[in-house]
Amino acid sequence: MFKTRITKLFGIEYPIVGGCMMHISGPEFVAAISNAGALGMMASAMFDTQEKFRQAVRRAKALTDKPFGVNLSLFPALRPIDNDLYVEVILEEGVPVVETSGHRPPEDMLARLKAGRVKTMHKCVSVRHAVSAQRAGVDAVTVFGTEGGGHIGELGLTTMVLVPRAADAVEIPLLAAGGIADGRGLLAALVLGAEGVTIGTRLLLTEECPIHENLKQALAAATEPDTLLVLGSLHNTLRAWKNPAALKVAKLEANQADLWEILNIVAGTETRRMLEEGDVDAGVIPCSQGIGLVREIKPLAEVISGMVREAAAIAARLGGK
């Protein structure tokens, strides 16, 4: 059902990638996504040493015999990240897929990964970036609309327009991301020219997602206006859930506050306290406008297969007219 170049490229059952989410996409959650027939993506930046990352990769391999991938962040970071150390582990441990996000992936990094038979994809927020990534040699690209949660770039391009434009511009397989949370979004992305989707926010409201139940319940009550853009003053715009911490960041930016005053709120310490202890006011969590489409906390496998079944049912109904 819905076999595409993406399912063939990554060796997965469904054309769905679980979006990499910092502090959340560890080995257990990644393996659960892959076991559900999608492609789980581990956040390498969660691990501050090469050995911790290696153990996480091995843990994921022990929990699933399905393909999974690793995200390498090329964004500026408070804690410098030596991605070459992560690449060493990826090659030595046989990780089959790597996603890069942020700046254009270095060609020497891509060459090392390709030599190790690793499939690569790059996350982009414009057609120009997608074409550039194709030229650099990646195997697939993800185009990420401004509706999405997380770092959405500064261009404000919507998924509805960005996907068909990118599909016309690149020859390699294309994934759509940004506000996609159900089978309607999956089918729409395929119709627009994508060959798969990346979903993140929908996976927050799954039984396996390792965030506190308080936060899951708060997100389940949220609607599509309950997100806001922050960090635009730092040219690193983030769409986040509209909680007191995010509102405080927006106010500080409006008042031209000191950089470190802003970063203290969005730092990992406060976000981890929210995720682990359930203080829903403490930190800032990326969240897409698609949160308005999500009302139930379900098993992960049910979410993934349900998206595909819903998309297939709609396609069949439309085909019968």
pLDDT > 80? residue 320: no
Say what the pLDDT of residue 304 is.
98
Among 103-107, 121-125, 160-164, 184-188, which is the least confidently predicted range?
A: 103-107
CB-based contact 146:227 (threshold 8 Å): no
pLDDT > 80? residue 321: no
How far, CA to CA in Å, does 18 sit from each of 13, 34, 69, 100, 286? 13, 8, 10, 14, 14
Among 23-32, 146-155, 256-265, which is the least confidently predicted range?
A: 256-265
Show me where the domains of the chain are located. 5-210+295-319, 213-289
Q: What is the pLDDT of residues 161-199, one digit of tens each?
A: 999 999 999 999 999 999 999 999 999 999 999 999 999
Mean pLDDT within 71-83: 79
* Predicted confidence band of residue 81 (pLDDT cuts 50, 70, 90): confident
Q: Is 319 exposed, middle or buried (0-12, 13-18, 19+ CB in 10 A)?
A: exposed
* Predicted confidence band of residue 277 (pLDDT cuts 50, 70, 90): very high
* Predicted confidence band of residue 78 (pLDDT cuts 50, 70, 90): low
**How far apart are alpha carbons 227 and 220 in whole angstroms?**
13
The mean predicted confidence, pLDDT, of the chain is 95
Mean pLDDT within 62-90: 89
Q: What is the CATH topology of the domain spanning 5-210+295-319?
A: TIM Barrel (3.20.20)
Mean pLDDT within 14-21: 97
Sign for the CA dihedral angle at 164, 165, 168, 170 comes to negative
* Predicted confidence band of residue 77 (pLDDT cuts 50, 70, 90): low
Say what the pLDDT of residue 4 is.
98
